[in-house]
Structure 1
């Protein structure tokens, strides 16, 4: 029943999202529809929690405004809600109340979204709700040319969403969370180059999450320095029975808001996540922290600016040169390694260039392998599996305390994919084989290879996968005698045809063509 409801919910939400498609591009209507879904979620969460604490008084939340001591009851609910949920919504401001009201609701919605943020001020949850709805501009002309047009769009969307049952009482499943992830993925598939800024394909997320949780059923902390919508962080939590804190950093303010909404909507309590909005490389927000699991899909070959202070930054100072200003890939990797706990595991997606480019990147590779011996595995992925780019990519796995410090595992999964329209995709079986090969650390002909540190040193720390995994397919030997015989037979056949043509030409009284 839950699986059926999940698919039904995904379809319903996507259909509602498409009511905005004609008004604006995918990036823009994504922010509106996901924001409204989130508002409805907060409302249902508030109503459910309030009903629970009012049950002993035989009172429902919608009945509170008519209660003789309404103000006192509401204040008690407010105090409990801000502590437990992190926010507060009075009955009159619930999503369902607005949807039923209809008429002119635009100004009400603007006020309520501000009030949700302000309800957290001075409380522990303030940072997690601060400017959370900033990307939802209800005065924008893209929502409608006139006030009435914009209000009409809101009324239609609110009424459509209000008909959908999010089933928040089903504590055994995360139906709404899965549907929300589905929507984010759908938006990413239509967002072109910008998709990589907020979404990692689900199958790649699974691989990264399974790699960093290998051998563990609980982790005390997980971190993503370029967390986008937060989907990758949430994926890691699904791979273990218990997790502690979620940490992340995201530079884009709109995507940062989406990540916080995603956490809350997946029922991650505000006390269990700490996501910050800043540039990870130049303004790291978690100095001194060490994390047990680290995952990331950083922007490929992003530009970053060198400053004198970075030369002395403890994340980078142990290597004589900084990663190139035109390619920050290794800067992100160094940042992640610096924050990796002694018992931690880290998996990062990167373009293939990090495996073999020279200059400063070669120095960093050598340092991480020869000096630190942190590199545990290199996994080649197929081309064209990420939104917005068709380049082949790889996953680098790092551990501070490696169980097999004498070698590095290379896996070439670049030819293992399924073609889907314009995108290549990894199947569940492809994911399973990659993860099993890593966990069992097995060599398989033309797929995986255990390279000794000496062999890597002999290759001058060049990690290009074909140097280690031989995928060359020998062609069958050519039988020259058989080919010669076949050519002679063809020549005899051609001569016979020529004679036949000559006979026809003679009968017609014309010259032969040869």
Structure 2
């Protein structure tokens, strides 16, 4: 709790100060500078720990590690240091551009406007040294636009604004009272703050934490307590959902316990995800992230030279864009992800395309949990045929109706679908959790008791009056494979019967009281004496 409270306190201060610093710049635009420089500080300090712990650099008495590094990594020796650091960390920061060096230049008014560009250029050059990690660090700072005129009208003005960002990021000690590094938690809270101020754009990069917890708990139920656990998010946004899976998995924070896979179409958001995972201590060797269109080209693996080689995972989690457009040309029917389901998802509603992609990459013993709009439950035509095929394959395990206004990007109520491939029964669990939430000014939120109720009901898999129903396959067929939740969970509350005799008595009492008041008023009126205008 101390760790979380400290992270929240730091975030609140950072957020307030960042809002003053950004001036008229939009919060979603200024986000890239705050989060980018915070990540750079993290990488630099992470490198510093490596140099110290592995005794790559040994400072003399009274000498700082950074000064020792600057004095030793010079001339021809610099290349040796770059290769050594890159081999261990996947990246390398030269002595001239460490966070300490940049901060000292800023504080001593020695920074040049060109220093920031040279800093990032040097980082990109060094990111190519280790071929195994180059994709993880290449262009990770591409969204820190140093030439943005909204940052400042001149090069000098922009440099001054960046100096302010450096000073802001540097003034906080990102450790809790126990000395634990909490920069990753601060980063995560900041992402949520930026999401709250980004309107509909927030849906592109952030899933509210409480929703992520529900998805993650559903996806990790029954997972082994040891061994490597693989998780895949085909629309990963800023990576928060992947990290929540790690948090909810038993022993999830053991080194190497979780192998993360994710794909994201938006390059800026993809960069956020890379930063987010690394700042939470995920080694580049344990993450495989990609910037590409999930539906257009299958990944990871999939069909290679006409042979189907899909990589499958212990858990698939997703909060894809709802009812998005996609290219559903007829050639997609040959794609092994879609060809077994008779139809393709409609051009203007890619929801089932994401479902089938996730199913294709789910292993035989794993679970998939995905958030979608309610329309996937009852829309007909092609979607109806796909839905029927999924049910007949016995992949759909549960349908969970969620409250409205949980997301920044939409106020519509959503549904979580849970899938398994090794199901022993052919029933489907329906849960109506739409009425359990805490109302907020902008968004509603799930409370811990709401989340626990969903998970415990899913595990118990029993009928709960006005909340859950286990529907047989025959029931599903009788409803023509329509999964609309009210068909299975009756939440109707009957009004209390009206006692007509009692209502008549109440009316009689009111009539009697009215008659008495009228008599009293008439008596008072008769006692009134008219006053002449000239009376004194």
Which TM-score band applies after superposition, normalised by the shorter structure?
over 0.9
CA distance in 1, matches of 2:187, 2:197: 16
Q: 1:238 aligns with which of 247, 250, 270?
A: 247
In structure 1, the gaps of 5 or more residues are none
Preserved contact between residue 324 and residue 349 of structure 2 (Cα < 8 Å): yes
Find the residue that maps to 1:449 and give its secondary structure: strand
For residues 378 and 75 of structure 1, the distance between their equivalents in structure 2, rounded to whole angstroms, comes to 56
What are the residue-to-residue correspondences of 1:380-395 with 2, within 5 Å? 380-395=401-416
Which of 269, 279, 289 is equivalent to 1:265?
279
Q: TM-score, normalised by structure 2?
A: 0.89
Residues 458-493 of structure 1 deviation map (CA, whole Å, 9 limit, x = unaligned)? 111111111111111121111111111222222333
Q: Deviations over 1:89-110 (max 9, x none)?
A: 1222111211111233431111
Residue 128 of structure 1: aligned partner: 136
Q: Is the 8 A contact 2:466 2:489 kept in 1?
A: yes
Aligned partner of 2:347 in structure 1 is: 325
Residues 1:253 and 1:228: Cα distance change in structure 2 (over 3 Å): same
Residues 169-207 of structure 1 deviation map (CA, whole Å, 9 limit, x = unaligned): 988x55111111100001001110010110000000011
Q: Distance in 1 between matches of 2:282 and 2:178?
A: 15
- The answer as to whether partners of 1:250 and 1:256 remain within 8 angstroms in 2 is yes
In structure 2, the partner of 1:274 is 288
- Measure how far apart 1:133 and its partner are: 1.1
Task: Look up the match of 1:214.
Answer: 221
- Specify the alignment match of 2:45 in structure 1: 44
1:299 pairs, out of 304, 321, 336, with: 321
CA drift at 1:508: 7.5
Number of the residue aligned with 1:485: 505
* More displaced stretch, 177-186 vs 436-445: 436-445
Contact 1:106–1:138 (Cα < 8 Å) also in 2: no
Which of 475, 483, 490 aligns to 1:470? It is: 490
Q: Unaligned stretches of 5+ in structure 2? A: 303-309, 531-536
Q: Which TM-score applies when normalising by structure 1?
A: 0.93
Cα offset for 1:407? 1.4
RMSD: 2.3
Alpha-carbon spacing, 1:174–1:373, altered in 2? closer, same or farther (3 Å): farther
Within the candidate set 234, 238, 251, 2:265 is matched to 251
Is contact 2:366-2:421 (8 Å) kept? Answer: yes
Does structure 2 conserve the Cα–Cα contact (< 8 Å) formed by 1:407 and 1:452? yes
Aligned to 1:350: 372
Give how far 1:168 is off.
Answer: 10
For the residue of structure 2 that corresponds to 1:150, the secondary structure is helix
Name the counterpart of 2:164.
Answer: 156
Q: How does 1:46-65 map to 2 (within 5 A)?
A: 46-54=47-55, 57=58, 60-65=65-70
Q: Is 1:368–2:390 an aligned residue pair?
A: yes
Shifted more, 260-269 versus 185-194: the winner is: 260-269
Q: Distance in 2 between matches of 1:143 and 1:177?
A: 26
Distance across 2 between alignment mates of 1:338 and 1:434? 26
**CA distance in 2: counterparts of 1:503 and 1:64, whole angstroms:** 103
Task: Give the match for residue 422 of structure 2.
Answer: 401
